[in-house]
Amino acid sequence: MLRSITGMNNGLSFMKQMLLSANVRCFSVAAVNRVKEIIVTKDNKKTIIEGILKPSDRVNLLLDPPADTNHEACSICRLDVDIKHTDVLILSQFMRSDGGMLPRRVTGLCRTQQKRMSKLVTMALKAGLMPNLAPANSKRDPARRDKFKKNHRYFDESTIRPPFRMKYPEDRSLH
């Protein structure tokens, strides 16, 4: 019985699998549950109750992936989204509860975008846009730093490097 609980799943025990699965966050652009409209129709001796899916009124807010998407690309590269350091709600999805960055295996980002997200999170923290989740005695708290480092920084949008994307010319034929 004990062997069936621990199992042979990649050498991890049952408890480790439960802990690891609880830490995995799901990133999605659409809601999982849909709203159903309840319709009640009464015939002679029958009452029929139907739940019909109601289309969302926020369909225009969804991101449509481009037609030529590479399915092996990460979600940010695939959707071609330009994220800035002021988009703190998006950036907070890539952070752990203790203030660190989630690893690439959890976020599913490519190396370039993972590095870019970590830079943007750092910029948002230095600008004072995100809460500092560091321990009390840590020098990561900007208020505890020396001299000018404790002040908020302001970043010009033109100084933020755009993400690297390979752009091919229209005619890629080999002559």
Angle at 29 between CA 26 and CA 32, to 5 degrees: 70
Higher pLDDT, 3 or 128: 128
Q: What is the mean pLDDT of residues 156-174?
A: 56
Identify which of 76-90, 126-140, 141-155, 156-170 has the greatest average pLDDT.
76-90
- Identify the top-confidence range among 9-18, 83-92, 120-129: 83-92
Query: How much is the mean pLDDT over the chain?
Result: 71
- Three-class SS string for the chain? CHHHHHCCCCCCCHHHHHHHHHHCCCCCCCCCCCCEEEEEEECCCCEEEEEEECCCCCHHHCCCCCCCCCCCCCHHHHHCCCCCCCCHHHHHHHECCCCCECCHHHHCCCHHHHHHHHHHHHHHHHCCCCCCCCCCCCCCCHHHCCHHHHCCCCCCHHHCCCCCCCCCCCCCCCC
The pLDDT of residue 23 is above 60: no
Max mean pLDDT among 56-65, 75-84, 137-146, 153-162 falls in 75-84
pLDDT-derived band at 41, boundaries 50, 70, 90: very high
How far is the C-alpha of 167 from the C-alpha of 144, rounded, in Å?
A: 44
The pLDDT of 139-159, averaged and rounded, is: 67
CATH numbers and ranges of domains, the chain: 71-166 (4.10.640.10)
Q: According to the model, what pLDDT value does residue 111 have?
A: 87
* Residue 46 burial (10 A CB sphere; 0-12, 13-18, 19+): exposed
Q: What distance in Å separates the CA atoms of residue 155 and residue 125, rounded to the nearest whole number?
A: 12
Determine the pLDDT at residue 6: 43
Quote the CA–CA distance of 123 and 117 in Å, as a whole number.
10
Q: Report yes or no: 130 and 124 within 8 Å, Cβ to Cβ.
A: yes
Place 173 in a pLDDT band, splitting at 50, 70 and 90: very low
- Is the per-residue pLDDT at 10 higher than 50? yes
- On the question of pLDDT at 28 being above 80, the answer is no
